Structure 1
Amino acid sequence: MNPDFLDLLAALVRAEARFLVIGAHAMAAHGVPRATGDLDVWVQANPENAARVWDALIEFGAPVRALGLSKTDLTAPGVVFQMGEPPVRIDLLTSITGVDFDHAWSARSMHRVGTLDVPFLGRTALLDNKRATARAKDLADVEILERREPQDG
């Protein structure tokens, strides 16, 4: 994983933020690796967690003010904050289609990334999200995931 991605994940872990790695990195964690140009991170959208995520973003050095993000934005569903350019882009999301954060958090899948224990979107929630999104590539991912044995974690 890219060092910038690891730095952000480490800052989120240190801040005790509630977040889940989603997207292609979650697919890889569940046994379906693929090339990707970004890291997708879903954060719980509430005031307490927003403060923790904000602290992590500041520690990481994210250009939050320059890009117009406020701590309050992190409490609202539907926010997508993008930093960087592919292949080192980070997308921070406050909601995803078809999945509730609290439910996903309770069924998260923990994986070791470098020296960190990182929470990833669990397999069932990943499948639910991909079905709800219903894009062709996501439906293809559903077929691949359903053919694979669940991974430990």
Structure 2
Amino acid sequence: VDILMGIPGAEFAEAWHRRKDVDFDGLSVAFISRIDLINAKRAAGRPQDLIDADTLSQVDDTA
């Protein structure tokens, strides 16, 4: 689990609005949205982050 105080490429208020809340046995856990994760990985610019961003951008999350 990563808990970050700030993420380059993601503004908190906007990212919080787009968060994905997931219920784990009655506990609601907030996750960064796919688009904000992609933007953050691109902003980081590390080789693996760029690969991850490209892979995530190809995922169909409508299912």
- What range describes the TM-score normalised by the shorter chain of this pair? 0.7 to 0.9
How far apart are residue 150 of structure 1 and its match?
Answer: 1.4
**Alignment correspondent of 1:40:** 2
* Secondary structure of 2:7 counterpart: coil
Unaligned runs of 5+ in 2: none
Percent sequence identity over aligned pairs: 33
**Which protein shows a greater Rg?**
1
Give the match for residue 113 of structure 1: 24
Give the secondary structure class of the aligned counterpart of 2:22. Answer: strand
- SS state at 2:42 partner: helix
- State the 1:140 CA deviation: 0.8
Counterpart of 1:96? 7
- 3-state SS of paired residue (1:40): coil
Distance 2:56 2:22 in 1: 18
The SS at the match of 1:128 is helix
Structure 1 stretches of 5 or more lacking a match?
1-38, 42-92
Counterparts of residues 63-102 of structure 1 (less than 5 Å): 93-102=4-13
- Report the aligned-residue RMSD: 1.5
Alignment of 1:122 with 2:37, yes or no, is: no
Q: How many Å separate the matches in 1 of 2:48 and 2:19?
A: 23
* TM-score using structure 1 length: 0.38
Query: Matched residue of 1:98: which SS?
Result: coil
TM-score normalised by structure 2 residue count? 0.86
Aligned length: 63
Residue 125 (structure 1) shift: 0.6
CA separation of 1:118 and 1:151: change in aligned 2, threshold 3 A: farther
Give the whole-Å Cα distance in 1 for the aligned partners of 2:5 and 2:24. Answer: 22
Letter of the 1:109 partner, please give it.
K
